[in-house]
Structure 1
């Protein structure tokens, strides 16, 4: 079977298939053929994958191996005249795998992740990658995990209409700036500069793609499920009730975030790194007018970009999937490079088993704070008793998009239950699902 491998700062660093959860592993493959078959296989593989490199506080890579069942991209050209465009002005895009049978009238929309850009220069950099332009997106991909069409992988949603919503605005699909900003940038190691227009139109992208999907059958949906990974997981919090409002009256609608619960905490030096970062994003992309008034009327708008303040306001049933030890947050929120100039945390961040006793206390404190901020949800005393959670003790980031981590026999489990099983039972209402793992390193399934 074809596989999809992804290692990324914002779009979701996957679990290692070898090694331990304390040490993000390497996925290494080798295909050996004899004689002429080696050459033929090499040529075939070269034609069958696309590798894209971009960056946001780290290196992002995406390798897509084409599966016999691939899904073609839809670049929504009609959105351009509405101003609903990616950072570079190209049309927004998505991959739609049509539902069939009993799932033909059900829709699952999944926001892709990929971090954010806080300055015009950072956004310009993204405009030359798939995180800011549909020109760099693959024409066809294999969709795994909760987007898979294989019932052995995705037993509850395999026959639904499944949409992978490509992320190209840098603001969790929530920005709105009418003005087109021309950005100039000096190129490193070159005696030149580049200049290009940059568009901040995330909310328009959301509306344009939703309208297109409504015209393709979503207007008659019987069930809807909005999900997302990382920055896309934050987008699920931001757009959940908006999605519910688009669905037909009487439709069953729920939402979920995968690794989108970014903690509102200072870094180890005491600096408000992530808060300052979000404040810059919110200001740059004029996000404040789109944030819930119930939040911005009493808080700094930057705070209202955190899930901890959004979740209590969401009326639609919501499921939070998050690792108790989010490795992306460890690198970018808890211990960013500037907070550790001597590099004392490098070993700990690479492998939690290598943490000092003091570092272990900080690491466990991160999980404690996550559970504290999720307290109303976890204890089911929120205004929405239909909420749920799956908080494992793995050192990981996104967990929905890979077959094995979503539902594989060797994937992470809590009380013997896989992520796919827990999410499916929660969505169907079989029973309440609030699964909280024991502290690291107690869970052996986190070392698969």
Structure 2
């Protein structure tokens, strides 16, 4: 009897959508090879597709994976031997599946606004934010733009063109790719389709007058040169700036016509850790500090505070009135694939205007209300993570929505 009651209890939890996350099979897009749309190592690109259901059957969420960039032949060659440059390596390292959670989850409690949508996750294997298109082939193939186009062709083939609602999103380098491809994505749909874009931790600042600006510019110059991006970046930007500067979103977002939402930390841990000092200038002490804030002294905190000021001032000067944004002060990078960073961000102290990140995004996407909030009160980086294990936190998150 006790076993039966336990089984019924578990069944009831599943029925109301308590168990978070689900595994999705990784698929290879073999048709892309004929179009020259291949990864750095020449393997065909990969995706993971979770079909929509119920009321979400006509809604599509396309997610672009992130993972930095390779700014030279040597670094791209190294990348071609890992999952970020090879679908073969991706499948072998992931056992053929990808776990969907956070804002990709099909859980009605943990992802209430988008849980029943089609979710199409495009894996990142080109090192250029899906922007490269170099015809010549030597030891590497730079074909990120072709991968993006081939994936869009596949999505249209399986029905995305008839969407009522569509969302293009991505994190980190995928967030930058979302900004770069946003208007191109919108052009795939009828005028009656609600189409919007969501960039998660993809606003990489140039910060011309902040330390490290030369290093950041040199790095993106390498990306542009290695991947031949001179002719693939938006002409609305390259007509005004050098191609290198057109990888910095501050020079892009004002020209984007499609509604765009930004999830960002003013203390972005990746940018602070990787883009303030060049590799040759990083000290062991700075590395320790950026990996764990308790090791930071006040000189290092001052650098972080200066970064915050640069980041916020850059955003204020470039974001349009039609944009949505959630700019917080937690020391982190990436939100969408983590319930701490999305649905239950408030449980780790990360909410603005009494909304979690996912609530803010949902309200903005469905036009329930606009959302443009920055944390202007906290000028120190905050630790917004839980010490709970995943299952415990997930239970707390479920209880928060279903007390």
Same fold by TM-score, threshold 0.5 exceeded? yes
Q: What value does the CA root-mean-square deviation take over the aligned residues? A: 2.2
In the alignment, structure 2 segments of 5+ residues that lack a partner are 1-19, 388-403
Residues in 2 aligned to 1:244 and 1:225: alpha-carbon distance in whole angstroms: 9
Is the aligned partner of 1:286 residue 2:223? Answer: no
Q: Deviations over 1:237-290 (max 9, x none)?
A: 100000000122211000011111111036976561111111111111111211
Q: Which of residues 310, 329, 335 is equivalent to 1:399?
A: 335
Deviations 1:27-53 (A, max 9, x none): xxxxxxxxxxxxxxxxxxxxxxxxxxx
Q: Which residue of 1 aligns with 2:364?
A: 426
Q: What is the alpha-carbon distance in structure 1 between the residues aligned to residue 293 and residue 301 of structure 2?
A: 8
Higher strand share: 1
CA contact (8 A) 2:331 2:383 kept: no
Q: What SS is found at the alignment partner of 1:417?
A: coil
Alpha-carbon distance in structure 1 between the residues aligned to 2:386 and 2:372:
22
Question: SS of the counterpart of 1:200?
Answer: coil
1:208/1:304 Cα in 2 relative to 1: closer, same or farther (>3 Å)? same
Give the aligned partner of residue 62 of structure 2: 109
Structure 2 residue corresponding to 1:234, chosen from 170, 176, 189 = 176
Q: 1:226–1:255: 8 Å Cα contact kept in structure 2?
A: yes
Q: TM-score, normalised by structure 2?
A: 0.85
**Alignment partner, residue 410 of structure 1:** 347
Distance 1:113 1:444 in 2: 23
Match of 1:265 among 207, 217, 222: 207
1:309 to 251, 261, 282: 251
Shifted more, 434-443 versus 75-84: the winner is 434-443
Report the alpha carbon displacement of residue 300 of structure 1 after superposing the two structures with TM.
Answer: 1.2
Separation in 1, partners of 2:255, 2:226:
24
In structure 1, the partner of 2:196 is 254
Distance 2:183 2:21 in 1: 36
CA deviations on 1:404-445 (whole Å, 9 max, x unpaired) are 321126243223321111111111111110121132448685
Name the stretch that deviates more: 327-336 or 198-207: 327-336
- In the alignment, the residues of structure 2 paired with residue 233 and residue 444 of structure 1 have an alpha-carbon distance, to the nearest angstrom, of 23
Superposed, 1:1-400 pairs within 5 Å as 69-137=22-90, 138=94, 139-181=96-138, 197-265=139-207, 270=212, 272-341=214-283, 343-376=284-317, 382=320, 385-400=321-336
Equivalent pairs, count: 362
Q: Deviations over 1:371-422 (max 9, x none)?
A: 11111466xxx2xx43111111011000111123211262432233211111
Given that residues 269 and 339 in structure 1 are in contact (C-alpha distance below 8 angstroms), is that contact kept between their aligned partners in structure 2? no
> Which runs of 5 or more residues in structure 1 are unaligned?
1-66, 182-196
Change (3 A) 1:238 1:103: same
State the SS of the aligned residue for 2:330.
strand
Specify which structure has the higher proportion of helix. 2
| Superposed displacement of residue 337, structure 1 | 3.4
Q: Which range moved further: 72-81 or 434-443? A: 434-443
**1:446 deviation in Å?**
5.7
Contact 1:399 1:405 in 2 (8 A): yes
Q: Deviations over 1:176-228 (max 9, x none)?
A: 100002xxxxxxxxxxxxxxx21000110000010001010101111110110
